[in-house]
Amino acid sequence: MNNEAMGSTTAIIVAIFFLVTGSTCLKLVRLNVPPYKMRGELAILECLYELEGDNLYAVKWYKENEEFYRYVPKSEPKILSYRVEGIKVDHSLSDSKQVALRGVNLKSSGIYRCEVSAEAPSFASAHREARMEVIFLPSHGPHIAGSGKQYYMIGDEINLNCTSAKSYPASVLHWFINDQQVSDTEGLVRYPHVVHTHGLITTILGLRTTVAPQHFIGGSMKLKCVASLSPVLWQGEGESIVQSMSPLLDNREAMLLVKGEAIRNMITVPLLVITILLAFLRS
Ligand SMILES: *[C@@H]1O[C@H](CO)[C@@H](O)[C@H](O)[C@H]1NC(C)=O
């Protein structure tokens, strides 16, 4: 390669470099998509950008690659929204930097993308995406059902099921005997999740164990089932998602734990009084 050819190659590379990284083109600074929303809530999705001297052509929002919102300042009307399942845009709360979704439901869960583009001469564009998950809280606590056995003696088999109310994501169940969590090796029976239409999930956890003397404290035994719901941790692509996730998650954990207790049976056996406490978790 001669000097002249090398010089022009360098010039082209420099030109491409400036086209790609040019300091005067628009930048997408931040995408704020709430990682979790309760069913029925209003969700505000923000797309923050800097034009850096460019003229805005359009801001477009997509859910799973389907466009549902467009803001074009030079057209009339400026705002257009398109029919996409699970999306109801509130035009009065939406503009060039945010889009508001009314009454989110399970179908609103998914990956949202904001795409910003500039007019000539730069025609620059930028996009980012993040996931939003809609949570459906159980309407009541879990319930315990079993063999309907009235009398328990040492050596008898306990065979009970704890069933959660419908929720999304799935509730996690734990059995406790006298406030001690029962482990898998001590008689838990795991059943597959029941998935209902609309994606709601019922979880069932069985307890199958033999009544032993150490189960009785002061002549009684307490059985409890606890259901909890924590949002799935999605690993987002933008750092902003991970940052906003931690404080939110703590909050959810406390809120989503459904709790409570009620006495159901008092069973008398010769020389032995067994109390079975059924625990219902209520928020
Ligand atoms: C527990 O639930 C499973 C799955 O629905 C069922 O097959 C089983 O018979 C139930 N056991 C009891 C003790 O109710």
Task: Look at residue 163 and tell me if it is in a domain.
Answer: yes
Residue 86 and residue 66 share a domain: yes
Give the pLDDT of residue 3: 56
Sign, CA dihedral 194-195-197-199, equals positive
Residue 266 lies in a domain: no
Question: pTM above the 0.95 mark?
Answer: no
Q: From ligand 1's centre to the CA of 87, what distance in Å?
A: 38
Domain count, the chain: 2
Q: Which atom of ligand 1 is nearest to the CA of 204?
A: 2
Going from the Cα of 83 to the center of ligand 1, the distance in angstroms, rounded, reads 43
Please report the pLDDT score of residue 120 as a whole number.
Answer: 87
User: Does residue 170 sit in the same domain as residue 128?
Assistant: no
- Spell out which residues line ligand 1, taking CB within 6 angstroms: 145-147, 159, 161, 191, 204, 206
Q: Atom 14 (ligand 1): residue with closest C-alpha?
A: 146
- Residue with CA at minimum distance from ligand 1 atom 7: 191
Same domain, 123 and 28: yes
Q: Which domain holds residue 38?
A: 24-135
pLDDT score for 112 = 98
Give 189 Cα–ligand 1 centroid separation in angstroms: 9
Q: Are 164 and 195 in contact (CB under 8 A)?
A: no
Distance 160 CA to ligand 1 centre (A): 8
Residues 112 and 54 in one domain: yes
What's the CATH number where 114 sits? Answer: 2.60.40.10
H/E stretch holding 50? strand 43-50
What pLDDT was estimated at residue 160? 86
The verdict on 127 and 156 lying in the same domain is no
Q: Which residues of the chain have pLDDT under 70?
A: 1-24, 147-152, 218-219, 231-283
Give dist(CA 259, CA 154) in Å, integer.
30
Phi, psi (rounded to 5 degrees) for 193:
-60, 145
Looking at the domain assignment, is residue 277 inside a domain? no
Can you give the pLDDT at residue 245?
34
The phi-psi region of residue 21 (left if phi > 0; otherwise alpha if psi is between -120 and 50; otherwise beta) is alpha
Residue 221 Cα to ligand 1 midpoint, Å, equals 22
| 105 and 190 share one domain | no
Residues 92, 115 within the same domain: yes
**Is 269 domain-assigned?**
no
Q: Is residue 222 domain-resident?
A: yes
Same domain? For 94 and 191 the reply is: no
Placement of tokens 């902003």 in the chain: 240
Residue 50 lies in a domain: yes
Residue 276 belongs to some domain of the structure: no
Q: Which atom of ligand 1 is nearest to the CA of 147?
A: 13
